[in-house]
Amino acid sequence: MLLGIPWTEWLGYAASLVVAISLLMKSLIRLRWINLAGSALFAVYGFLIGAYPVGGFNVAIILINIIYLVRIYRTTESFELLVVQPHDTYLPRFLMHHSADIAKFFPGFDIAAFLHQEDLIRTTEEISLPPVRRVAFYILRDLVTVGLFIGSIDEAGNLTIELDYVIPAYRDFKPGEFLFTACRDKWRALGASTLVASANGNQHAAYLARMGFTPVGDRFERNLSKS
């Protein structure tokens, strides 16, 4: 008993809190996992206090969450990159719509300055390339635009990542794995030998480490010659 309240009642409060938190998740996968945890706590709580309908109902919710999670993880999704063409009218709309979220994860990326640059995006088909060229791609997931990748390639073969943004509902590492593993040959074909990124906080650093980047000084790198 804590503060005069039985521990089983605290368990019920904890279960309610976890379920409430799950409903705040923008990512469907996170929602399912956290909701599963909350339902498990509620099931234990229900059985402990003898409220068997509560326990049984939450066991059913656990099973439903498991079924949907298995479906999500087993589903084969189609990823592809779509080149952002010069004077693309969708680009500023995408950037401005997600500007607040982008600023949170990429505080150094100045959207207004970026959109006002001349010769903004160069296509992959160009033959004559400048010493430093910028490339930009929409990240498509089953033909849904889920993110935007922008980077600059220099003469040394460094592809410096300026923006690697994915909208909240699709942040489950799959877009990153597609970008940095499945697209390795694409980056090499564009003349890049090393991916270079700067970490914006501990969470971003952990993401880059998971994507195969290693810290080198004050930045992270991934050698494209390695798997």
CATH number for position 210: 3.40.630.30
Using pLDDT thresholds of 50, 70 and 90, give the confidence band for residue 120.
low
The per-residue pLDDT of the chain, averaged, comes to: 88
Report yes or no on 2 lying in a domain: no
Residues 20 and 108 reside in one and the same domain: no
- pLDDT class for 25, splitting at 50, 70, 90? confident
Closest CA to 156 of 221, 107, 96: 221
Side chain identity at 160, as an amino acid letter? T
The reply to whether 94 and 166 lie within a common domain is yes
Q: Does 86 score more than 80 pLDDT?
A: no
The residue out of 74, 103, 129 marking a domain boundary is: 74
Is there a domain that residue 197 lies in?
Answer: yes
Final residue of a domain: which of 29, 53, 74?
74
Q: Are residues 42 and 106 in the same domain?
A: no
Which pLDDT does position 173 carry in this prediction? Answer: 86
Residues 93 and 126 in one domain: yes
Least confident of 4-18, 135-149, 198-212: 4-18
Handedness of CA 155, 90, 25, 107 (dihedral sign): positive
pLDDT of 73 higher than 50: yes
The reply to whether 24 and 113 lie within a common domain is no
Question: What's the average model confidence in pLDDT over 47-69?
Answer: 92
For residue 16, the enclosing domain spans: 7-74
- Considering the domain architecture, whether residues 159 and 203 belong to the same structural domain is answered as yes
CB 107 within 8 A of CB 119: no
Cα distance between residue 75 and residue 72, in whole Å = 5
Residue of 128 and 148 predicted with greater confidence: 148
User: Span 55-61, mean pLDDT?
Assistant: 93
Residue-wise DSSP of the chain: -BTTB-HHHHHHHHHHHHHHHHTT-SSHHHHHHHHHHHHHHHHHHHHHTT-HHHHHHHHHHHHHHHHHHHHHHHPPPPEEEEE--TT-SHHHHHHHHTHHHHHHH-TT--HHHHHT-SS----TT-SS--SSEEEEEEEEETTEEEEEEEEEE-TT-EEEEEEEEE-GGG-SSHHHHIIIIITHHHHHHTT-SEEEE---SHHHHHHHHHTT-EEETTEEEEETT--
pLDDT for res 42: 92
Nearest residue to 187 via CA among 124, 109, 106: 124
- The reply to whether 1 falls in a domain is no
pLDDT band at 121 (very low <50, low <70, confident <90, very high): low
> Do 120 and 45 share a structural domain?
no
Domain end among 74, 99, 130: 74
Residues 35 and 13 in one domain: yes
Same domain, 98 and 210: yes
In this structure, the answer to whether residues 68 and 108 fall within a common structural domain is no
Residue 31: inside a domain, yes or no? Answer: yes
Question: What does pTM read for this prediction?
Answer: 0.70
Q: Kindly tell me the burial class for residue 59, based on how many C-beta atoms sit within 10 Å of its own C-beta (0-12, 13-18, 19 or more).
A: middle
Domain count, the chain: 2
Q: Are residues 85 and 192 in the same domain?
A: yes
Residue 37 included in any domain = yes
One domain, residues 91 and 181:
yes
